[in-house]
């Protein structure tokens, strides 16, 4: 029998007969390792631990404590979920059940008349625990495509049939059985359900099959699974904290914004919410001025011819709104960039005027599907803090470097100390020449590497007109949010025939750089609310100090304090209602005012105030003038 050489992570090698199972190889090292291994990793490919090893390779074993092991646990738990649902509702049809960040989901078509909600999660969990406790093996089987199709056809699993139909006839297909229940999957999976059991089903939602609203609405069941109970408990606590920070709940509680059926997925900002929104815009506007951007304003609706020229009609029209103006088709803008190209082109440019830097807080409209809109995070109308730089090719590197500095400065100024970047390259659907794309991708890569900042490569996720750098903020509870972007574009200047006169007196194409820092101001506001849990920094808080009277005898002094604060530019609120003091204090706490000032006999007598910070810290008594100085220093 042929021998194979296995190289282990520490560099040691060992000979085995060809076809020895990965489990047997692990057992030869340590029976304990074999029992703890979920899978085998050959190079970068994962395999079921029960499979034979056919050739010499570098091999390591995957346990539950590794990222790969955790993914396998989650994937296998998703299969157990589908099996449990089939046991509860035998005529249900299962679709897909992938691993996602921190968990998994499974899309299922339930029998007619069956609707489940979060109250049913415990029922499904109980069924899953029963399956896991029996510790059945998870067995891989391989079929020809036709045999696999017939097997799932007999089971009535129409979604699996559709998936198999798209696979070439020459390919073999793997399935996995837990006991007698079979599912379609590439794997790998745990060898037995004894590795599972530390999980929690978290929510139920609707999802169209393949994301197509014309197809069946399925029930999507979400869950999470972990290697140990401590990690599960910590994750569930993070979920609870996320619920406490939910911007939709805080927005209603603080009267910041609302949504109405008369304008689906379009937020209505109330006075306090509009104030925060404008403060964010003003903060960004000051940064733009510092970095030399001139602000412009372009029309909300423009001829469809413009969108043909820009490429948006061919690549983005399903997300656009159209209307007729004077018998001519027009579109409401989904992006600001084509309008900025027209601004650039309006007057001939010399190389001396480059880089030409313009910015706009432009309202755009995108027809997002009803199933994906939610709160401020996904709306159909929003303001982008767009900017576009038109520069010479030799200036791309310093311009990208400048933008990296600006974006970092803005994020830190808004309380986000951590972020990471992704370089997204050419997608399957793109415009322009391949050579131009490669040139653009290299320019962004060089800028990132010269900046010395860490980044992750995200192949195939660029915009249709150019590669990009995406910025992912990390919030106070460790969640990541994609916000800013820098996109390099050689195609749009070509499409709009943009030019400048070079030093050599020749007509040349400028390079166009797209830049957004906040991204959607609405979405960023939602992230900002959740990051600070509604306890806004003093500079952006709609009301900075709530003045509360204990009784009617203190109203005159309270009015005097209020007037002094207002004259100094401090945004105060006055509560002189004839309500119990405890009620007024609790209401002020719910409203999360940065400072609360309770006025009674002692304060009136001494001509002082005793402010209390929203953190609960009680300040020593001081004069109103001293308090104003304290706040003004904090605002600098």
With a cut of 90, say whether residue 464 has pLDDT above it: no
- pLDDT tens for 265-317 read 999 999 999 999 999 999 999 999 999 999 999 999 999 999 999 989 888 88
Which position among 248, 340, 388, 612 bears the catalytic label? 388
Q: Which residues in 261-327 belong to E strands, given as ranges?
A: 268-269, 294-295, 301-303, 321-325
Q: Supply the angle between the helices 158-165 and 145-155 in degrees, to the nearest 10.
A: 160
Please, are residues 16 and 25 in contact by the beta-carbon 8 Å criterion?
yes
With a cut of 70, say whether residue 141 has pLDDT above it: yes
The CATH number assigned to the domain holding 173 equals: 3.30.980.10
Please, are residues 223 and 98 in contact by the beta-carbon 8 Å criterion?
no
Domain boundary among 502, 532, 562: 532
Answer yes or no: is 388 within a domain.
Answer: yes
Same domain, yes or no: 85 and 196: yes
- pLDDT tens for 431-454 read 777 887 888 888 888 888 888 878
Q: pLDDT-derived band of residue 13, with 50, 70 and 90 as boundaries?
A: very high
Which position among 64, 333, 366, 554 bears the catalytic label? 366
- pLDDT tens for 405-418 read 999 999 999 999 89
With a cut of 70, say whether residue 392 has pLDDT above it: yes
Q: In sequence order, what are the residues at sequence separation of 6 or more whose Cβ sits closer than 8 angstroms to the Cβ of residue 53? A: 4, 6, 16, 18, 19, 20, 21, 22, 25, 40, 42, 59
384 catalytic, yes or no? yes
Residue 150: Cβ within 10 Å count: 14
Please, are residues 426 and 383 in contact by the beta-carbon 8 Å criterion?
no
Q: In sequence order, what are the residues at sequence separation of 6 or more whose Cβ sits closer than 8 angstroms to the Cβ of residue 258? A: 251, 252, 267, 268, 270
Same domain, yes or no: 290 and 432: yes
**What's residue 370's pLDDT?**
73
First to last CA, the chain: 79
Answer yes or no: is 603 within a domain.
Answer: yes
Which position among 48, 185, 384, 546 bears the catalytic label? 384
Contacts of 227-236 with CB under 8 Å at 24 or more apart are: 227/64, 227/65, 227/69, 227/70, 227/73, 227/198, 228/198, 229/198, 231/198, 232/198, 232/199, 232/200, 235/102, 236/200
Which position among 337, 341, 391, 532 bears the catalytic label? 337
Same domain, yes or no: 197 and 111: yes
367 catalytic, yes or no? no
Instruction: State how far the Cα of 41 lies from the Cα of 588, in Å rounded to an integer.
Output: 57
Residue 319, burial from CB neighbour count under 10 angstroms (0-12, 13-18, 19+): middle
Which position among 386, 395, 470, 475 bears the catalytic label? 386
Higher model confidence: residue 37 or residue 212? 37
The percent of residues above 70 in pLDDT, for the chain, comes to: 100
468 catalytic, yes or no? yes
Domain boundary among 44, 63, 82: 63
* Residue 109, token pair as written in the block: 């078509």
Which position among 514, 554, 592, 612 bears the catalytic label? 514
Same domain, yes or no: 491 and 550: no
Same domain, yes or no: 234 and 117: yes
Which of 57-66, 92-101, 432-441, 544-553 shows the lowest mean pLDDT across its residues?
Answer: 432-441
With a cut of 70, say whether residue 344 has pLDDT above it: yes
Instruction: State how far the Cα of 613 lies from the Cα of 3, in Å rounded to an integer.
Output: 73
Same domain, yes or no: 234 and 281: no
Interval 349-368 mean pLDDT: 95
Angle at 207 between CA 206 and CA 209, to 5 degrees: 140
**What's residue 460's pLDDT?**
87
Report CA-CA distances (Å) from 382 to 272, 523, 540. 18, 8, 20
472 catalytic, yes or no? no
Which position among 160, 378, 468, 554 bears the catalytic label? 468
- Per the document, the length of the chain is 636
**What's residue 107's pLDDT?**
96
Please, are residues 468 and 453 in contact by the beta-carbon 8 Å criterion?
no
Helices and strands of the chain, counted as H and E runs: 20, 32
Q: In sequence order, what are the residues at sequence separation of 6 or more whose Cβ sits closer than 8 angstroms to the Cβ of residue 479? A: 242
Interval 121-148 mean pLDDT: 95
**pTM for the structure as a whole:** 0.85
**What's residue 426's pLDDT?**
87
Answer yes or no: is 537 within a domain.
Answer: no
The CATH number assigned to the domain holding 569 equals: 3.40.50.800
**What's residue 393's pLDDT?**
86
Task: Report how far Cα 26 is from the mean position of its chain's Cα atoms.
Answer: 39
Domain boundary among 532, 567, 592: 532
Same domain, yes or no: 381 and 432: yes
- At residue 119, the 3 state secondary structure works out as helix
**What's residue 397's pLDDT?**
87
* Residue 402, token pair as written in the block: 């400048």
With a cut of 70, say whether residue 1 has pLDDT above it: no
Same domain, yes or no: 55 and 199: no
Answer yes or no: is 304 within a domain.
Answer: no
Answer yes or no: is 250 within a domain.
Answer: no
Report CA-CA distances (Å) from 525 to 298, 382, 602. 23, 11, 41
Answer yes or no: is 223 within a domain.
Answer: yes
Answer yes or no: is 315 within a domain.
Answer: no
Work out how many domains the chain is built from and give that number: 4
Answer yes or no: is 494 within a domain.
Answer: yes
Q: Which helix (H) or strand (E) holds 223?
A: strand 217-225
14 catalytic, yes or no? no
The CATH number assigned to the domain holding 359 equals: 3.30.930.10
Same domain, yes or no: 556 and 597: yes
Same domain, yes or no: 606 and 518: no
613 catalytic, yes or no? no
With a cut of 90, say whether residue 462 has pLDDT above it: no
- At residue 595, the 3 state secondary structure works out as strand
Contacts of 163-166 with CB under 8 Å at 24 or more apart are: 163/96
Please, are residues 69 and 40 in contact by the beta-carbon 8 Å criterion?
no
Cis bond leading into 39, ω under 30°?
A: no
Which of 75-84, 113-122, 426-435, 451-460 shows the lowest mean pLDDT across its residues?
Answer: 426-435
Same domain, yes or no: 630 and 510: no
With a cut of 90, say whether residue 391 has pLDDT above it: yes
For 155, phi and psi rounded to 5 degrees?
-80, -10
Same domain, yes or no: 615 and 484: no
Instruction: State how far the Cα of 246 lies from the Cα of 233, in Å rounded to an integer.
Output: 20
**What's residue 350's pLDDT?**
96
Interval 327-337 mean pLDDT: 93
Range(s) of the domain holding residue 592: 545-635
* Residue 416, token pair as written in the block: 């986000």
Average pLDDT, the chain: 93
366 catalytic, yes or no? yes
């Amino acid at each position: 029998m042929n021998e194979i050489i296995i190289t282990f992570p520490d560099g040691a090698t060992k000979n085995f007969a060809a076809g020895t199972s990965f489990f047997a190889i692990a057992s030869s090292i340590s029976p304990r390792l074999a029992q703890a291994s979920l899978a085998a990793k050959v190079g970068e490919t994962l395999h079921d631990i029960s499979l034979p090893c056919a050739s010499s390779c570098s091999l390591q074993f995957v346990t539950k404590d590794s990222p790969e092991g955790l993914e396998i646990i989650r994937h296998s738990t998703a299969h157990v979920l589908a099996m449990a649902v089939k046991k509860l509702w035998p005529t249900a049809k299962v679709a897909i059940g992938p691993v996602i960040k921190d968990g998994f989901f499974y899309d299922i078509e339930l029998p007619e008349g069956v609707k489940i909600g979060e109250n049913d999660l415990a029922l499904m969990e109980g069924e899953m625990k029963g399956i896991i406790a029996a510790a059945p093996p998870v067995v891989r089987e391989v079929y020809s495509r036709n045999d696999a199709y017939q097997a799932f056809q007999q089971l009535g699993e129409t979604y699996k049939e559709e998936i198999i139909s798209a696979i070439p006839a020459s390919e073999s297909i793997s399935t996995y059985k837990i006991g007698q229940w079979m599912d379609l999957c590439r794997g790998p999976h745990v060898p037995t359900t004894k590795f599972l059991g530390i999980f929690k089903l978290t929510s139920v939602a609707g999802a169209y099959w393949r994301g197509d609203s014309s197809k069946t609405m399925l029930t999507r069941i979400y869950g999470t699974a972990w290697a140990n109970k401590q990690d599960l408990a910590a994750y569930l606590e993070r979920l609870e904290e996320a619920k406490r920070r939910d911007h939709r709940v805080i927005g209603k509680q603080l009267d910041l914004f609302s949504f109405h059926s008369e304008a689906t997925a379009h937020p209505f900002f109330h006075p306090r919410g509009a104030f925060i929104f404008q403060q964010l815009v003003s903060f960004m506007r000051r940064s733009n001025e510092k970095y030399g951007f001139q602000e412009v304003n372009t029309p909300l609706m423009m001829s469809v011819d413009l969108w043909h020229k820009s490429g948006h009609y061919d690549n983005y029209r399903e997300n656009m709104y159209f209307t007729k103006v004077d018998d001519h088709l027009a579109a409401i803008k989904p992006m600001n960039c084509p309008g900025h190209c027209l601004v650039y082109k309006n007057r001939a440019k010399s190389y001396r005027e480059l880089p030409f830097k313009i910015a706009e807080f432009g309202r755009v409209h995108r027809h997002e599907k009803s199933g994906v809109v939610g709160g401020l995070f996904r709306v159909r109308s929003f303001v982008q803090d767009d900017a576009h730089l038109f520069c010479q090719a030799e200036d791309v590197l310093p311009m990208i470097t400048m933008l990296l500095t600006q974006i970092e400065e803005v994020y830190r100024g808004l309380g986000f100390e951590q972020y990471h970047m992704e370089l997204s390259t050419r997608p399957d659907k793109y415009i322009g020449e391949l050579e131009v794309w490669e040139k653009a991708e290299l320019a962004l890569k060089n800028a990132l590497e010269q900046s010395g900042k860490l980044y992750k490569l995200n192949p195939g996720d660029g915009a249709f007109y150019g590669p990009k750098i995406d910025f992912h903020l990390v919030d106070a509870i460790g969640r990541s949010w994609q916000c800013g972007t820098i996109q390099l574009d050689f195609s749009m200047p070509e499409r709009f025939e943009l030019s400048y006169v070079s030093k050599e007196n020749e007509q040349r194409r400028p390079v166009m750089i797209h830049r957004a820092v906040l991204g959607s101001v609405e979405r960023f506001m939602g992230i900002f609310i959740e990051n600070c849990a509604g306890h806004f920094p003093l500079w952006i808080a709609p009301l900075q100090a709530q003045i509360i009277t204990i009784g009617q005898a203190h109203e005159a002094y309270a009015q005097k304090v209020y007037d002094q604060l207002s004259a100094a530019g401090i945004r105060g609120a006055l509560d002189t209602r004839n309500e119990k003091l405890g009620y007024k204090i609790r209401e002020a706490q719910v409203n999360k005012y940065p400072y609360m000032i309770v006025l009674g006999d002692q304060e009136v007598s001494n001509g002082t105030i005793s402010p209390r910070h929203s953190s609960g810290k009680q300040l020593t008594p001081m004069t109103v003038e001293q308090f104003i100085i304290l706040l003004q220093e904090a605002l600098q």
